[in-house]
């Protein structure tokens, strides 16, 4: 279940930092009862960015497959081996 805290709780920065590092998800901050910000640890942020990049790479690969921009694996490997032996 997501953690939701009011913006006034941000005054206790040490506690907020601990919360971010213990949570396996972002912490949502509200202002006047409405969503305002999201907090997360650097580790969680970097993992999220890495996962996003993987999704982008998969999307690009699927697009290239649909457009026929692919190579035969055996020919590509042979080409790499040929360049390596020179």
Residue range 4-54, pLDDT digits in tens: 999 999 999 999 999 999 998 999 999 999 999 999 999 999 999 999 999
User: Does domain 1-40 sit in CATH 3.30.1380?
Assistant: no
The sign one gets for the Cα dihedral 42, 48, 51, 55 is negative
Identify the residue with better confidence: 44 or 85.
44
Taking the whole predicted model, whether its pTM rises above 0.85 is answered as no
Q: CB–CB of 25/45 below 8 Å?
A: no
Average pLDDT score over residue span 79-84: 88
d(CA 71, CA 77): 10
């Amino acid at each position: 279940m997501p953690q939701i805290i009011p913006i006034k709780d941000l005054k206790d920065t040490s506690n907020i930092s601990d919360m971010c590092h213990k949570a396996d998800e972002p912490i949502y901050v509200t202002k006047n009862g409405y969503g305002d910000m999201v907090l997360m640890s650097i580790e969680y942020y970097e993992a999220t960015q890495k996962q996003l990049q993987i999704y982008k790479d998969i999307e690009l690969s699927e697009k290239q497959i649909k457009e026929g921009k692919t190579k035969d694996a055996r020919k590509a490997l042979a080409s790499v081996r040929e360049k390596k032996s020179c």
